Structure 1
Amino acid sequence: MADENRFEAIQAVVDRVTSWQDGATEGTVAEELRKGAGETGVDLSDEEIAKLADVIEDKHGAVDAREVLGG
């Protein structure tokens, strides 16, 4: 169940960043993902941040964190 809670928290961060980051640079997206993860107490590796940021940049829409991170 802890894994489920982790992905719910990550998805909330991804949704928040995605909703207002359209057109932002990858560095900004990654920074905001780190900030959001810190606020929710979720640990994300640099690799996870990079994967999520890449998809947010490319997709410009809804992003499924579980799908991106393979969970």
Structure 2
Amino acid sequence: MFVFFGKFLHKTYYTIVIFILSYRQRYEWKKALCSKKNRKNVRVLAYYFRRSELLKKRIELAQIKRKFSFREDR
């Protein structure tokens, strides 16, 4: 159970961190009434979140390709 939880944490660590940061940024954003600095931070976080999602999809595709590719084809 603990090992499974550890693996789960390892996989979702970055997304959890990004979610917490983005939530905090949204709160700050409301508090500071769209100050330039906060707007920039939110944009950067959104960029990194999109990048992490794309990386996940790319890794999944690579795993599927590896599963269906044969050694004779290489």
Q: TM-score range by the shorter chain?
A: 0.3 to 0.5
TM-score (structure 2 length as normaliser): 0.36
Structure showing greater relative contact order (alpha-carbon pairs closer than 8 Å, 6 or more residues apart): 1
More helix by share: 2
Give the TM-score of the pair, scaled to structure 1: 0.37
Structure number with bigger Rg: 2
